[in-house]
Amino acid sequence: MYILETKTSNNPTHYILCGLPFSGKTYLGKLLQDKLAFVHVSLDEQKALAGYENVSDDDVPDEVWTNIFNNTDFLAVSALKQGQTVVHETAFVTKKWRDRAKAVAFTAGFQSKIIFLDIALVTIRARYEENEIRAWRYKTPKNVFEAYIQEFEAPSNEEDVIIYDGQPPLEDWIEILRSK
């Protein structure tokens, strides 16, 4: 079991949130920001700031994605250099994506750890369907949602992974990890 780092330290940590859409990455990122004062860097927030809120990922031009990723990298590294622990949130669907994020932090002299929200696919699908009705967040086209499921590569143990499997509730889980 890992101990979650405090908000500032001589060696802040870059936590990479990994999981399928609707696994709870945004919720966990915000909880870590609120409870532990981590800097929460969200790809979805940067996408919205770029003018693409409520737009399918497939409809965002490649050059805009490049700018969005560069901006999230800048925000994460800047916070780390100020001694702040970062929780970096995007789908990080493949190992290649996670390795890219780790390399950015490593090049700046910081360690990354993956937090994998290993939530049952039946739960993910139920949350997706509920969002289609209630629109808690932007709607994800069914084909994009299904593509993420097909492309997803669960992290391996070699990736320095902290796994959350849905139990206990995230608020309690954070306290358990924090107190170890």
More confident residue, 161 or 139: 161
CA distance readout (Å), 40 to 25, 60, 105, 124, 144: 11, 22, 15, 22, 25
Cα 176 to chain centroid distance, Å, stands at 20
For residue 159, what pLDDT band results from cuts at 50, 70 and 90?
confident
The C-alpha atoms of residue 102 and residue 166 are separated, in whole angstroms, by 25
> What integer pLDDT is reported at residue 1 of this predicted model?
42
> What integer pLDDT is reported at residue 132 of this predicted model?
87
**Cβ atoms within 10 Å, residue 88:** 31
Which percentage of the chain shows pLDDT scores above 70? Answer: 93
More confident residue, 15 or 57: 15
Each domain of the chain, given as residue ranges in start order, spans 13-179
Model pLDDT for residues 112-125, shown as the tens digit of each residue: 999 999 999 999 99
Residues 6+ apart with CB under 8 A from 118: 19, 23, 154, 163, 164, 165, 166
CATH superfamily of 13-179: P-loop containing nucleotide triphosphate hydrolases (3.40.50.300)
What single string gives the DSSP state of each residue in 70-84?
Answer: HHHHHHHHHHHHTTB
Instruction: Determine the Cα angle at 98 with ends 94 and 100, to 5°.
Output: 115
Model pLDDT for residues 49-94, shown as the tens digit of each residue: 999 987 878 889 999 999 999 999 999 999 999 999 999 997 678 8
Q: Is 90 helix (H, G, I), strand (E, B) or coil?
A: coil
Residue 114: name the closest of 171, 173, 160 by CA. 160
Q: Is the pLDDT of residue 40 over 60?
A: yes
Q: Which helix (H) or strand (E) holds 100?
A: helix 95-107
